[in-house]
Amino acid sequence: MRIAMKLEVKDIVKGGKPIVCLTSYTAPMARIVDPLVDVILVGDSLGMVVYGFENTLPVTLDMMIAHGGAVARNATHAMVVVDMPYGTYESSKELALKNAQRIMKETGCAAVKPEGGQELAETVRYLVNNGVPVMGHIGLMPQSIEKMGGFKIQGRGDAGAQKVMADAKAIADAGAFSMVVEGTIEPVAKDITEAVNIPTIGIGASPACDGQILVVDDILGMYAPFTPKFVKRYVELAPIISEAVKQYADEVKARTFPTMGHCFLPK
């Protein structure tokens, strides 16, 4: 397979082909996903998917850096974006820059993604002005579940729609190169996509978004606890893996694995 040059921020443009984004958290998955997508997001969803937490709040900077580095070292085509975890950017723009630079330097990723709307615009501007490319994240923001009162779909009613639109415009004006629009009612996500001059990446948003993102374990049928409405499972890998593990266990118990062919013999 001929793999195109590594994608950069300047390649993630509005009005071109739909932008294909997917999460990955490990080196082997990054190697599989890399040639097939435009953007790999090392999302803080790894808190649930990899670490088994209930939400993303316990995820640390060190976790994001460890997984971000594993993915970035193994992506030769896709642009790699790493999430800024809860508590690492909200309190001041200076703290945000220090932590964003640490993520960039220690992982080799191309951009970071903090969550936030109007209240985060000044920080996004500061990051961008200091050379850190930012993918925004508005609408349903999982790091704000306490403030939002749970995983609530955003943009409902006039006030709800105006708030998400204002958030989107603030993040675009602040210099983000793209933004995730998560868990937002379809017409509002579509209006946002028409209103802002940077690509929108939808998840539970609209087919009209400039790109789409999902969690890789969700599309592979690997994450059992919960399947949100916006997820499409393209394969059910969990039972396939389970069957392989069962065969291995049966063979070990029956002493039919390993065979002599798996053993090192004297020369």
Q: Between 121-129 and 157-173, two packed helices, what is the crossing angle to 10 degrees?
A: 20
Stretch near ligand KIV under the rule CB under 6 A, chosen from 41-49, 61-69, 98-106, 119-127: 41-49
Of the pair 37, 215, the CB lying nearest ligand KIV is at: 215
Residue with tokens 């070292």: 73
What minimum distance in Å lies between the beta carbon of 244 and ligand KIV? 27
Of these, 24, 45, 107, 206, which contacts ligand KIV (CB under 6 A)? Answer: 45
Cβ atoms of residues 56 and 99 within 8 Å? no
Does the protein bind ligand KIV through residue 183 (CB under 6 A)? no
Does the protein bind ligand KIV through residue 203 (CB under 6 A)? yes
Does the protein bind ligand KIV through residue 143 (CB under 6 A)? no
What minimum distance in Å lies between the beta carbon of 14 and ligand KIV? 18
Of the pair 176, 213, the CB lying nearest ligand KIV is at: 213
Cβ atoms of residues 107 and 66 within 8 Å? no
The count of chain residues that interact with ligand KIV, using the rule CB under 6 A, is 11
* Catalytic option among 182, 186, 243, 251: 182
Does the protein bind ligand KIV through residue 24 (CB under 6 A)? no
Does the protein bind ligand KIV through residue 215 (CB under 6 A)? yes
Distance CA 135, CA 248 (A): 43
Stretch near ligand KIV under the rule CB under 6 A, chosen from 38-46, 145-153, 227-235, 246-254: 38-46
What minimum distance in Å lies between the beta carbon of 180 and ligand KIV? 5
DSSP conformational letter for 85: P
Of the pair 112, 213, the CB lying nearest ligand KIV is at: 213
Which residues ranging from 81 to 100 are in contact with ligand KIV (CB under 6 A)? Answer: 83
Residue from 147, 141, 201, 137 nearest 168 by CA: 137
* Polymer length in residues for the chain: 267
Residue from 153, 158, 157 nearest 140 by CA: 153
Which amino acid makes up residue 165?
A: M
182 a catalytic residue: yes
Which ranges in the chain belong to alpha helices (H)?
Answer: 27-33, 46-49, 61-72, 93-107, 121-129, 145-148, 157-173, 186-195, 216-219, 237-253
Give me the residues paired with residue 139 across strands: 182
Does the protein bind ligand KIV through residue 204 (CB under 6 A)? no
Residues contributing to the site for ligand KIV (CB under 6 A): 23, 41, 43-45, 83, 180, 182, 203, 213, 215
Q: Which residues are catalytic?
A: 182
